[in-house]
Structure 1
Amino acid sequence: MTSDRATNGELLAAVTAFRDVVAASSLPLDLPSTARAKDNRVALLRQLEDYVIPRLSSIDAPLLAVIGGSTGAGKSTLVNSILRREVSKPGVIRPTTTSPVLIHHPQDARWFTDKRILPGLARVTGEPSGPDESSTVRLVTSAELPPGMALLDAPDIDSVVSANRGLARQLLAAADLWLFVTTAARYADAVPWELLRQASDRGTAVAIVLDRVPPEVMGEVRPHLVEMLREQGLGTAPVFPIPEVVLEGSLIPESDIARLRGWLTDLAADAAARETVVRQTLSGALASLDERAEELVVASRTQQRVVEELSQVVDQVYRRARTGIDEGMSDGRLLRGEVLGRWQDYVGTGEFFKKVEVGVSRLRDRIGDALRGAGKPVSPEAVDDALQTGVAQLIEANADTAAIEVARTWRGLPAGEEVLAVHPELARASAGFSGEVDRVVRTWQGEVLDLVRTEGGSRRTNARVAAVGVNGVGLLLMLFTFTHTAGLSGAEVGIAGGTAVAAQRVLEAIFGDQAVRSMAAKARAALEQHTDHLLAGEAKRFARAIGRVDVPADQADRLSRALDRVQAAR
């Protein structure tokens, strides 16, 4: 990686754009196959914001050494001993350090008082006045620490408090140098080595402090630790053993800490050595973006595929629901039962339909008499209500069946069961759907009446409409909209078929055959549009539940392109 400022500026711009794409990405579904990638996304964002971008922005800033390790390793005592005064409070009650303490030379204050690094942590200064806050970093100045280097005392990596563990890992990812503290009793523990392997994989500069080593086992423990480091690719990491000794006050005797202090002082004083450490860790962090971003790309594609599978189920099932409603409006189903009974009461018995051939005018007069109360005491509103109920029930039944079918199918797909557990209401049509359907069907019936009024046009047509009544003509138009009689049998065929013929004949006598077909098409199209809107609203419940808008189809491609720009700038 070159130090050319123009190249660094290009790389910074590419990394910043990559960070923005990662931040905008999402993995909303709880899939076992993408659980690790979700954690990786959070860690990746933190390292970009806490370390990579700040370091690229200020390549000459002081080297930051984060002191991390297991519970009871003596990190705070070590920091205090290096500085020869207490700046980080040690203790026997765990956890102790919960709020990180950042120590720097007074000349370097400008690098740490702003949000250049660790922008998510507030800055506090002075002695702690109460319990540590994990959302803050306490700044301490010390002339014992040479300019050009800062120390950051982190919480325990294996703290019993999960927030402390997460913060410790976040701070280590923000470091130019890991100063890893372990003990003779715990140097082989699993948790430290998990983090050390990550450091090795990402090229992070590491130094090891082997603390509290009984003198009689020093010759055995130190070589074993060095061998373990070599096996993990960290054979060049310096190891600083500190014997188990009686503390002077609360500090390790200076003679036992002198080698470590000297190494840190020399590193701080040597600009070239500092730059080597910084660039090693920065290059490693940049190189690690490839694998970590690829994991996020794969997870994005997996999530998108699962979302698409769930969404396809919704689309297919609700298309079938739409087809079922269309069939129910075309096969004579709506002219059965209550509608037939009300229609018979309205215009008379089956004998009435035999008179259709006698003359349309007589038929029109008969219906007109009914409207004026001269026939059966049944109003067209009664037939209208029965028809409204039939249409509403048809829509509701298909919508409810669709919801049940989607839920049943989802339970057999990845993430489907999890989504339904959070949204059990999806297994049925939405609450209030029935009332919404009633309102929409009533609205459509009103639109049909408006259509009758607007199609009148001429004085003669208006007179014919008036003879039957707008409500009666509107009712005939609604019945004519459902003209097909497939599925009916026996007496129903005659009655329903007669209903359709009677409605058609009267409407043609009033408006003419071409106008009637046009009106029926408009009425049917309006009802279909309302139906589409109702079903779309029901289907959107599922889309919202799976977070479809949170997994853009091009998310994986945008991540890949952003990473390509980083690689090209490196």
Structure 2
Amino acid sequence: MPVDPGRRAVPSEHASVVLLGALSKLLTEISATPLRLEAPGVEAARARQAEVVDQLSDYVIPRLVQLDAPLLTVVGGSTGAGKSTLVNSIVGTRVTESGVLRPTTRSPVLVHHPDDAEWFQPDRVLPDLPRTSVPTNDVYALRLAMSERVPRGLAILDAPDVDSIDQGNRELASQLLAAADLWLFVTSAARYADQVPWDYLRQAAERSTSVAVVLDRTHADAVVEVRGHLARMMTSRGLSDSPLFTVPESTTDTEGLLPSDAVAPIVGWLTDLAADPRARTAVMTQTLDGAIRHNVLRTHDIADAMDAQVEAAEALYADVSDAYNDTAAAISQETSDGTLLRGEVFARWQEFVGTGEMMRSVEERVSRIRDRLVDGVTGKRTRATEVSRAVGDALTSLIVDDAESAAATAARAWGGSPSGKQLLASARGLERASHDLHNRAERAIRDWQAAVHDLVRIEGSDKRMTANFLAFGVNGVSATLMIVVLAHRAESRGPENVGRKLLAAIFGDLVLDSLVTKAHADLEARIAPLLRDEQLRFLDLLDSPETVRATQTTLREAARRAEYARHADFLEGGPDS
């Protein structure tokens, strides 16, 4: 983009504080934004998120903190364009090594005036890159080199190739260009029309980044034609006012430097830029303002992309909620429709009430019980305990079996989507109930049975001397109430009918109905936390749709505040003025 010294003023000191706070908040929010689910568009959203985080932390915020720091000029471009040779020739001495083999694995080199050394300490420019003063093959280390030939107020950074076959080189090149105040973009007659360099230049135009283009290694016979074509391409891509320099194909000297006259226009331009605070400020301000605007827009794009995260989270939540809600409803039905009055429970109940011909009336049954009371009371009460134990075992098995089914259903549903598969892969055993559910269910049912015992004891406090109550005792009446509870919604009366008649004779129908309702509601209330804990094994793996929406709202608000602060800070017109 053009360098226009009168374009807008330097941000005021007060406004910069406001802007810095808004952008720091934006960085915090965008860094914490979850894009965990494999929803449509998530890869692009994650890439944008990483780009925004990198540019805010590598360039925008450090630059706002130190507006007086030297202008960072990053020299980037295609493989074989001659960047390192150009940097050495601009500086007038060998400070960076060009490579014969590609990709060249070496650290990027930042050259600055000795008096500017303080600006490039580890907590300043590019704070995440470790510093070194010697050549190294660590591509992520920033080698600092001092040269008095570099004017004060200017620093030149030789970046890796933007189209390197090495991914690490490409990623670092992108990071360094995003941290630049000024791009010195180098291409050649052989590579100037390549797609990758133009992708970067397009990004520069979108961000209003200050750019100068160098057409390097161009034979004299082709300079006019190639330069003209390149200029037209720049114009069509929004870079018409960016400086365009031409470096003819030249023989290097013994130090590997180009003739001084070949690079003189570039050296003169950079020297004049460094010597003119107003022009230097204009370059920095243009790039900084454009970077802020661009990152605010990218943040809104990320927030928009979170719609897919919300949809995915809603679907995953619904899968799990449906599975466990259905299970809760099934358990409620199975603990009230007589389903459990079979097998061991039925056998123990039959032993308790007696086998053979069922009583024709409660009075007849009580008479027979009273006759056997002296000889059989201990045995009767033991059988009541066996009924309670059988009921407890049946309820425990029911909870575990239905929880197993719910887990399998939820896991199967999640397995049908990319986001669900991703989450299932991150946690083992979700398709089965928790290994400790049996023990937890046993405790819950024991507590329920104790509560039923207390309910009977309290409600029957004034009925303990009745024949019916004496015949069965608190344990027997409690066991009978459990049987009645487990079948109170049955369409037809079965073996629990005797128990219901007995309890009605003791408590009366109204009180009995109240006891049954209370006991069953208590049972459901004790089972619910067990199913909720089982459900949370799934739901804890993802943020709720409400949480994602709240994050989305917070992110958009942070972007809006950053944009308001940008407008307040750059007083002389907006970014397009």
Matches within 5 A, 1:361-400: 363=369, 372-373=378-379, 379-400=383-404
Query: Structure 1 residue 268: deviation in Å?
Result: 0.8
Alpha-carbon distance between aligned partners in 1 of 2:376 and 2:244, rounded to the nearest angstrom: 105
Cα pair distance change 1:330/1:550, threshold 3 Å: closer
Determine helix, strand or coil for the equivalent of 1:64: strand
Alpha-carbon distance between aligned partners in 2 of 1:252 and 1:545, rounded to the nearest angstrom: 59
Q: Is the 8 A contact 1:365 1:468 kept in 2?
A: no
Determine helix, strand or coil for the equivalent of 1:207: strand
1:566 corresponds to which residue?
562
- Which stretches in structure 1 are left out of the alignment for 5+ residues? none
1:552 to 545, 548, 551: 548
Q: Is the 8 A contact 1:211 1:241 kept in 2?
A: yes
Letter in 1 for 2:392: Q
1:197 corresponds to which residue?
202
Alpha-carbon distance between aligned partners in 2 of 1:562 and 1:461, rounded to the nearest angstrom: 73
1:116 corresponds to which residue?
124
User: TM-score scaled by structure 2?
Assistant: 0.88
Query: Structure 1 residue 336: deviation in Å?
Result: 2.5
Cα pair distance change 1:368/1:380, threshold 3 Å: farther
Structure 2 residue 533 is matched with structure 1 residue 537: yes
Alpha-carbon distance between aligned partners in 1 of 2:467 and 2:81, rounded to the nearest angstrom: 100
Query: Structure 1 residue 177: deviation in Å?
Result: 0.5
The superposition leaves residues 5-36 of structure 1 with CA deviations (integer Å, 9 ceiling, x where unpaired) of 22222222222222222122111112232321
The superposition leaves residues 301-354 of structure 1 with CA deviations (integer Å, 9 ceiling, x where unpaired) of 321232122212322332221111111111111223331122112321252433
Q: Is the 8 A contact 2:105 2:137 kept in 1?
A: no
1:127 corresponds to which residue?
134
1:159 corresponds to which residue?
164
1:344 corresponds to which residue?
350
Matches within 5 A, 1:404-419: 404-412=408-416, 415-419=419-423
1:14 corresponds to which residue?
22
The superposition leaves residues 36-71 of structure 1 with CA deviations (integer Å, 9 ceiling, x where unpaired) of 111101100111111111222222221111111222
Letter in 1 for 2:85: T
2:480 corresponds to which residue?
476
1:444 corresponds to which residue?
448
Q: Is the 8 A contact 2:366 2:468 kept in 1?
A: no
After alignment, is 379-388 or 150-159 more displaced? Answer: 379-388
Q: Is the 8 A contact 2:503 2:512 kept in 1?
A: no
Cα pair distance change 1:235/1:324, threshold 3 Å: same
Structure 2 residue 196 is matched with structure 1 residue 185: no
Determine helix, strand or coil for the equivalent of 1:206: strand
Aligned length: 557
The superposition leaves residues 250-298 of structure 1 with CA deviations (integer Å, 9 ceiling, x where unpaired) of 2222222222111111111111111111111112112213421221111
Q: Is the 8 A contact 2:464 2:470 kept in 1?
A: no
2:306 corresponds to which residue?
300
Letter in 2 for 1:528: E
Letter in 1 for 2:442: D
Query: Structure 1 residue 453: deviation in Å?
Result: 5.9
1:243 to 242, 248, 254: 248
Structure 2 residue 61 is matched with structure 1 residue 61: no
After alignment, is 410-419 or 332-341 more displaced? Answer: 410-419
Determine helix, strand or coil for the equivalent of 1:317: helix
Cα pair distance change 1:462/1:75, threshold 3 Å: farther
- Which stretches in structure 2 are left out of the alignment for 5+ residues? 1-7, 568-577
1:72 corresponds to which residue?
80
Cα pair distance change 1:72/1:350, threshold 3 Å: farther
Query: Structure 1 residue 502: deviation in Å?
Result: 3.2
Alpha-carbon distance between aligned partners in 2 of 1:459 and 1:355, rounded to the nearest angstrom: 20
After alignment, is 82-91 or 425-434 more displaced? Answer: 425-434
Determine helix, strand or coil for the equivalent of 2:448: helix
| Structure showing greater relative contact order (alpha-carbon pairs closer than 8 Å, 6 or more residues apart) | 2
CA RMSD of aligned residues (A): 3.0
Determine helix, strand or coil for the equivalent of 2:73: strand
Cα pair distance change 1:48/1:78, threshold 3 Å: same
Alpha-carbon distance between aligned partners in 1 of 2:370 and 2:328, rounded to the nearest angstrom: 35
Alpha-carbon distance between aligned partners in 2 of 1:411 and 1:294, rounded to the nearest angstrom: 31
Structure 2 residue 91 is matched with structure 1 residue 83: yes
